[in-house]
Structure 1
Amino acid sequence: MVSAGSFRSVDGGAIRFPHRWTPEGVTVEADFTGAHLLHLAAAGCVLNDIYREAGELGIRIDGARVSAEGGFDTQTWISSGITYHVELNSPASSDELVMLLDRVDHVAEIPRAIRAGATVRRS
């Protein structure tokens, strides 16, 4: 889970990182396994793009929390897919926030790359 603004984690185990779109940075709560890191990459990208796209649209975001989860076939390690959930704290209307999240879902680079598939090779 990644959080920023009014949704930043106060858990002592959360990791804190600077963030270009939020003055107090972001917090990250995730286990350090390959699966969790893949899910964290998707969630982190969505959070970044929420702030970037909101800025371009003139929508104020006071807080954002994005969690992602999914599973793997333990025989083949093929992902069963990733589902992400977004919580926003914003004075914007519900319609504006739906438009923002639709736009983010369309442009978020990591979810787009995962959806398209990619070759991974050792060099």
Structure 2
Amino acid sequence: MRSGDERAVGFPHKWTPEGVTVEAEFTGAHLLHLAAAGCVLNDVYREAQTLGLHLDGVQVTASGGFDTDTWSSTGIRYRVELDTPASADEQAELLRRVDEIAEIPRAIRAGAAVERA
């Protein structure tokens, strides 16, 4: 489920021999969304392996916005598309599990202090 967009950037990836492709603008907001999407992608592959599910491909997209008066995030939404022979119930369980444990989305949901050193 790699991007064919000429602007997509390829990266090696532990779980896929072909690596992954990323479509993102280089802004702080886009990088925050990319961090959430990348974490979800990695966890989908890891948890699928743990559950014994075969994946032929995964695509994660993330979007969101910022309040330009306060520069607070208005939230991040992500969507996962799976290419797998797994049943609908198995896919739902995989995505439920990933949503519960994905580290970056959990950290963002919890909030974190960011300080200049």
TM-score range normalised by the length of the shorter chain: over 0.9
Superposed CA deviations along residues 27-58 of structure 1, whole A, max 9, x for unmatched, are: 00000000000001000000000000000100
Identity of aligned residues (%): 70
The TM-score normalised by the length of structure 2 is 0.98
1:27 is aligned with what amino acid?
A: T
2:23 pairs with one of 26, 29, 45:
29
How far apart, CA to CA, are the structure 1 residues paired with 2:74 and 2:10? Answer: 29
SS at match of 2:19: strand
How many residues were matched structurally? 117
Q: Taking structure 1 as the reference length, what is the TM-score of the superposition? A: 0.93
- 1:90 alignment partner in structure 2: 84
How do residues 50-65 of structure 1 correspond to structure 2 at under 5 angstroms? 50-65=44-59
1:3 maps to none
Gaps of 5+ in 2: none
The letter of the residue matching 1:56 is T
Q: How does 1:36-47 map to 2 (within 5 A)?
A: 36-47=30-41
Letter in 1 for 2:88: S
Distance 1:55 1:17 in 2: 21
Structure 1 unaligned regions, length at least 5: 1-6
